Chain A
Amino acid sequence: MTTARRLFFLAGDFLSTAASGAAAAVATCVVLPESWPAAAAMPLGMILGMAAAFAVSTPFQAVFGCIEVMIPSMLAGMAAGMTGAMVAASTGHAAALGASVGASAFLFTCLMNALLRGEAS
């Protein structure tokens, strides 16, 4: 694969993951009441976050690849959904927080990919 093509796909993965994280955090911030106990808000936030990430990442999957977009985006949705449910104070704050969680999910997936790809033992 050429460097330009590799960068194209990496940029797509990153955009999808950041957008999925932002959408997941905003969705949980809007839907889940602040007064809910963390024990209920976190798992519900995770599920809601994954649903939001799925919706946002689907158009990206059509352009940049299914599994490679879906994995970091869903991870971002899961983590940002939980985080949004716990700490987001406003939708703007949730979007920024979710995008940061998404960027972290992208970096984590890249790191894991560097460790795991290649000949399996």
Chain B
Amino acid sequence: MDEATRQKWNRAAAAYDRFAARSSERRWADYKRALFGHMSGRILFLAVGTGLDIAFFPGGQNIVGIDISEKMLERAKPRAAVYDGALELRQMDVHELDFPAARFDQIYTSCTFCSVPRPVEALKQLRQALRQGGELRMFEHTGSRWFPFNPMLRVMNPIARRLGPEVNRPTVENVRAAGFRVCRVVNHYLDIVKSIEADC
């Protein structure tokens, strides 16, 4: 397990809800609800964190939620307990997934790949965990291809990385590099906040 990442998110756990719950979660609620509305079959939810996204899950699903931080998962437990379906929480590093190959029909992520240290390697792990033809659905923020946002995010990235997530990740390209076929990309804010749908 990546100790530095685990400790970083353990430290962030206490303040995470205060910062994220009021703003980004409220702002993107409709978009997340629409994306997660496609849930069906055996589902892996990556980086479930404090469980803020659980409120947007459709009921009656069979979901395994993982996170690298035990302190985040502690906070997610009460939210998982009231979920109207099967939701198992497990501590796990996405670089070292402990599931049999082709275990899941779908994998979901939500603002995760800005923080995964080795994104292509992690996406390859996800690909192994998905059955043939399984779906990867992501809600992520990425870098931009457009001036002036592109150079600005490049300047900001070294500082952002120290404080938490990176702001300049080429996540769509990383998904392709991991062997997925990108089916659809929908920009929600500029070309930075987006949904990505891919299959393998």
Contacts and interface: CB of A to CB of B under 8 A. Distances in A.
B189 A68 contact: yes
A109 B95 CA distance: 36
Interface in B134-185: 141, 146, 148-149, 152, 155-156, 167, 184-185
Given A50-B155, A119-B185, A120-B185, A71 B23 contact: no
A64 B152 contact: no
Of the four ranges (under 10, 10 to 19, 20 to 34, 35 or more), the interface on chain A belongs to: 20 to 34
Interface string A54-83: 000000011111111111001100100000
B22 A63 contact: yes
Contacts of A75: 148-149, 152
B7 interface: no
Chain A binding surface SS class: helix
B170 to A, nearest CB: 13
Contacts of B155: 50
Interface of B: 18-20, 22-24, 26-28, 30, 141, 146, 148-149, 152, 155-156, 167, 184-194
6 contacts: A50-B155, A61-B19, A62-B18, A64-B27, A67-B193, A120-B191
A-B interface, 4 closest residue pairs, ranked by CB to CB distance from nearest: A120-B185, A65-B27, A65-B23, A116-B191
